[in-house]
Chains A and B, each alone.
Chain A
Amino acid sequence: GQSLEQPSEVTAVEGAIVQINCTYQTSGFYGLSWYQQHDGGAPTFLSYNALDGLEETGRFSSFLSRSDSYGYLLLQELQMKDSASYFCAVRGDFQKLVFGTGTRLLVSP
């Protein structure tokens, strides 16, 4: 089977740095993606890692270690608007995209 594990909730204050971890177990692996979803909104793409290492996009960075079946999303200089749910997703066999159950990030003033 395929499974992705993420913490259910993370809290932080404005201006802080937070890391959301994702461990996965899938048959086949074609990359790890991260999506953000605000309450009542649609998921939106944040980042994609196919190879080991760190990908940086502005305040957000994503890391992948294929040997550890592990990745994380790093959010810096947190803002209130970053309060949302964050999902990791893996493309496995047959290019199926499997999502984790999501991490709810609460940013407080």
Chain B
Amino acid sequence: KAGVTQTPRYLIKTRGQQVTLSCSPISGHRSVSWYQQTPGQGLQFLFEYFSETQRNKGNFPGRFSGRQFSNSRSEMNVSTLELGDSALYLCASSNSGTSTDTQYFGPGTRLTVL
């Protein structure tokens, strides 16, 4: 099976712009979660989608949004970018997203905001 893929791998934007990141989960997985990783804060949970519905949301401002399509692919969008949004954005997929499920991470999208 192919692993989790994320596009693009690297992105440079300027303050005020918006960005859309894409994640394709492992075939058959219906849960996709997004995380922001920064050196100081570690892995911060953004949101989780399951069968096209947002099931969980972390403590991020409304500038961060996401969606999931019927084929389980997911996108996240960040509007009005700020310098502090520079981070590695990881998505992870799992079969059902429940406690016993292993999360499989993609390689991440490295976002730099100038």
Q: Which residue of B lies closest to A102 (CB)?
A: B42
A43-B90, A43-B105 known; A95-B99 Cβ under 8 A: yes
Instruction: Count A-B pairs with CB separation below 8 Å.
Output: 54
Q: What number of B residues sit within 8 Å (CB to CB) of A?
A: 25
B107 pairs with A97, CB closer than 8 A: no
Q: A interface, how many residues as a size bin?
A: 20 to 34
**Chain A interface main SS type:** mixed
A31 pairs with B42, CB closer than 8 A: no
B105 pairs with A42, CB closer than 8 A: yes
B42 pairs with A100, CB closer than 8 A: yes
Give the distance in Å from the alpha carbon of A48 to the alpha carbon of B35 in the complex: 19
A41-B107, A96-B45, A98-B45 known; A31-B56 Cβ under 8 A: no
Q: Is A60 an interface residue (CB 8 A)?
A: no
CB distance from A39 to the nearest CB of B (A): 11
Q: Is A23 an interface residue (CB 8 A)?
A: no
CB distance from A21 to the nearest CB of B (A): 16
Q: Is B102 an interface residue (CB 8 A)?
A: yes
What are 30 residue pairs bridging A and B, where the CB atoms are less than 8 Å apart in the complex? A30-B98, A31-B99, A31-B100, A41-B107, A42-B4, A42-B90, A42-B105, A42-B107, A43-B90, A43-B105, A48-B100, A50-B100, A89-B43, A91-B99, A94-B56, A95-B48, A95-B55, A95-B99, A96-B45, A96-B48, A96-B58, A97-B33, A97-B103, A98-B45, A99-B35, A99-B43, A99-B44, A99-B45, A101-B42, A102-B42
